Amino acid sequence: MAPLIPLLAEAGPDGMIPTRSMFDTMVAGGPLLIPIVLASFAMVLIVFERMFSLRRRRVVPRLFIERFLLQLREGALDRDEALERCEDEYSHIARVFAAAVRKWGKPGVEVEQAVLDEGERIANVLRRYLRVLNGVSTVSPLLGLLGTVWGMIQAFNVIATSPAMGRAEMLAGGISVALITTAAGLLVAIPAMIFYLYFVGRVDALVTDIDHHGQEIVNLISFEALEDRRASRVSIPRRKAA
């Protein structure tokens, strides 16, 4: 830990108390402020990356889903055409649909299992880096607290060995320097926790949508669904010729 620098400086000739720059304040915080600053940079990068990756149109584009399911209901797509549509679409839900289409005509249990397996892989992709955000929100205040405790120890040692023992301004300056790391840790941890909770909720909502649409495609291309559709066509009575 760097030697503590009192924050309370004596007034100048004009009666004004000199102020400190942000850089001087960070230097006064000591080396434990470095990992907190690095954690803040990591948090910012992850937030921007997740904001881009978790866009709804990137994960579950509504236009593609509606057109694809409508064409399946109307029988406008066969297995190869449906698979080609999924492979041409760059979205996470398209990967789930492709996994289901590869099981075209198989029993519903097999199709549903393919949807669940691919959906689980997609969920892991959507949750990427969220543990890092959670770690930043947990570790940053601990680093700040450690820096404060260490700074307090140094402050009291300086006061105890100083010839000017008993001067309140020296103790106040040392404590204020020691509290810099705690303030920095909280400034990083609070937004990190807020963004973590926001992204967890967003991922849960997207996974729910993927599961819902995955069940829809199971009900359209499974063996049971295709058989029911054929049976319904056969059972429709033909009109008698006039």
The 3-class SS string of the chain reads CCCCCCCCCCCCCCCCCCCCCHHHHHHHHCCCHHHHHHHHHHHHHHHHHHHHHCCHHHHCCHHHHHHHHHHHHCCCCCHHHHHHHHHHCCCHHHHHHHHHHCCCCCCHHHHHHHHHHHHHHHHHHHCCCHHHHHHHHHHHHHHHHHHHHHHHHHHHHHHHHCCCCCCHHHHHHHHHHHHHHHHHHHHHHHHHHHHHHHHHHHHHHHHHHHHHHHHHHHHHHCHHHHHHHHHHHHHCCCCCCC
Is 201 in the same domain as 218?
no
Number of Cβ atoms within 10 Å of the Cβ of 116: 16
On whether both 133 and 123 belong to a single domain, the answer is no
Nearest-angstrom CA–CA distance, 86 and 206: 18
Say if residue 119 is in the same domain as residue 223. yes
Residue 77 lies in a domain: yes
Identify residue 230 by its one-letter amino acid code. Answer: R
Instruction: Confirm whether 238 is domain-assigned.
Output: no
Q: What is the C-alpha to C-alpha distance for residues 232 and 229, in angstroms, rounded to an integer?
A: 5
Which segments of the chain have a pLDDT < 70? 1-30, 162-174, 176, 233-242
Rounded to whole angstroms, the Cα distance separating 50 from 132 reads: 12
pLDDT (0 to 100) of residue 209:
94
**Residue 81 located in a structural domain:** yes
pLDDT score recorded for residue 16: 47
Alpha-carbon dihedral 29, 34, 38, 40, rounded to 10 degrees? -10
**Do 179 and 216 sit in the same domain of this protein?**
no
Domain membership of residue 12 (yes or no) is: no
Domain assignment present for 232: no
Listed residue (140, 178, 130, 135) closest to 37, CA to CA = 140
pLDDT at 156: 75
Instruction: State the pLDDT at residue 238.
Output: 52
Give domain status of residue 21, yes or no: no
Task: Look at residue 230 in the predicted model and tell me its pLDDT.
Answer: 78
| Judgement on whether residues 145 and 36 belong to the same structural domain of the protein | yes
Query: 204, 178 in Cβ contact below 8 A?
Result: no
In a domain, 37, yes or no: yes
162 and 195 fall within a common domain: yes
pTM for the model stands at 0.78
* Statement to judge: residues 176 and 219 lie in one domain: no
Cβ distance 171 to 152 under 8 Å? no
Residue 121 confidence (pLDDT): 94
Q: What is the pLDDT of residue 26?
A: 58
Residues 142 and 154 in one domain: yes
Buried b (16+ CB within 10 A) or exposed e, 141-162: bebbeebbebbbebbeebbeee
CB 182 within 8 A of CB 148: yes
What is the total count of domains within the chain? 2
Same domain, 177 and 67: no
Residues 71, 165, single domain; the answer is no
Please give the pLDDT value at position 24. Answer: 59
The parent domain of residue 60 ranges over 56-127+208-227
Asked if residue 138 and residue 48 are part of one domain, the reply reads yes
Looking at the structure, do residues 110 and 134 belong to the same domain, yes or no? no
